Structure 1
Amino acid sequence: MDPIKTRSLEVTVISGENLCIVQKPVTEDVYVVVRTESLKCWTTKMAKQGGESLSSGHSTTWNERLMVEAPLHAKSITFEVQCKTSKGLVRPIGLARIAISDVVPKDEACSEVLNYRLRNWEGRRSGG
């Protein structure tokens, strides 16, 4: 059986604003899990709190570059923001599913900054 062909994507997870669970701000132990329609996933480090954002909410900053392997058949990348509770449980905050065609540069020398709103697993707006 032939191995699945993949492509490498360089993704930088920059920041999130107004991250909330049940309308309560989440301020510590927040990280992002990146999946590319495969069993493999990539995880950022725990975020740093950046203070007030432009929209007068709290900003969480990762500014972390990940080298992600995506199968050639993959149509999307999922970014799931999660946090660890004081009891050590993992709580999902929200996710963004992004089309691969949005992140694969049309020009090799080109890089883009994209912004997405987090959704819950039912597709409703998540966060603040």
Structure 2
Amino acid sequence: MKRALEITLISAESIRLNKKPVKNAFVAVRAEPGHECSTKPALDKGTNPQWNEKLIVDLPLHVAFITLEVKCKSSSGSYKVVGGATVPVSDFAGALGTPEGYVHFLSYRLRDSNGVRTDGIINISAKMPVPAPALACKCDVPRSEVGVPVGHQRKMTAAGGLVVGVPVW
């Protein structure tokens, strides 16, 4: 079973690769191995790229972390990782006291592939969208009444003396 994560990659600050500003930086988001989505490359060249791009990521229930990687295209055409951040799902999902659909604005320090802090911070917003209510069936197939007998059956009501429970979301 999966749920949707709405994540907006806002910007990065002070990112460098080998102490040089990066060009065409983009962010790859991965919730589970083999399933990655990414932003378009930032138009500005330098250390503070901005994307302001929203991505919808399928987030399986068993996933505890998502991975954000800032990458850039090198002159040879290959992609290099500038830095990454491992984001706990608990930072934006199931937080106590926050309603469903609440937007969390978060910033994370980037780290290299060895886990050592690098120059750079990534700024994101994340929210778990409120699930849409289930739509009522619009078909002409007769449904049986479901309910529990209530009180004495002296008075017959339209429902036949049954109380029908309807869940409220």
Equivalent residue letter for 1:123: G
The alignment yields a C-alpha RMSD, in angstroms, of: 1.6
3-state SS, counterpart of residue 80 of structure 1: strand
Identify the residue that residue 56 of structure 2 maps to in structure 1. Answer: 67
Q: Which residue of 2 aligns with 1:118?
A: 110
TM-score when normalising by structure 2: 0.65
Query: Matched residues, percent identical?
Result: 40
Partner residue of 1:54? none
Aligned residues: 117
Structure 2 counterpart of 1:29, one-letter code:
N
In structure 1, what is the equivalent of residue 165 of structure 2? none
**Which residue of 1 is the match for residue 78 of structure 2?**
89
- Residues 88-97 or 105-114, more deviating: 105-114
Larger Rg: 2
The alpha-carbon distance between structure 1 residues 71 and 38, as it changes in their structure 2 partners (threshold 3 A), is: farther
User: Does residue 41 of structure 2 align to residue 49 of structure 1?
Assistant: no
- Structure 2 residue runs of 5 or longer lacking an equivalent are 121-169
The gaps in structure 1 that reach 5 residues or longer are 52-57
Corresponding residue SS for 2:49? strand
Which whole-Å CA distance do the structure 2 matches of 1:16 and 1:74 have between them?
Answer: 25
TM-score by length of 1: 0.84
Q: How far is 1:61 from its partner?
A: 0.2
Q: Secondary structure at the match of 2:55?
A: strand
- Using the TM superposition, give the Cα deviation of residue 24 of structure 1 relative to its aligned residue in structure 2, in angstroms: 1.3
Partner residue in 1 for 2:152: none
2:24 counterpart of 1:29 = yes
Runs of 4+ in 1 over 4 A off after TM superposition: none
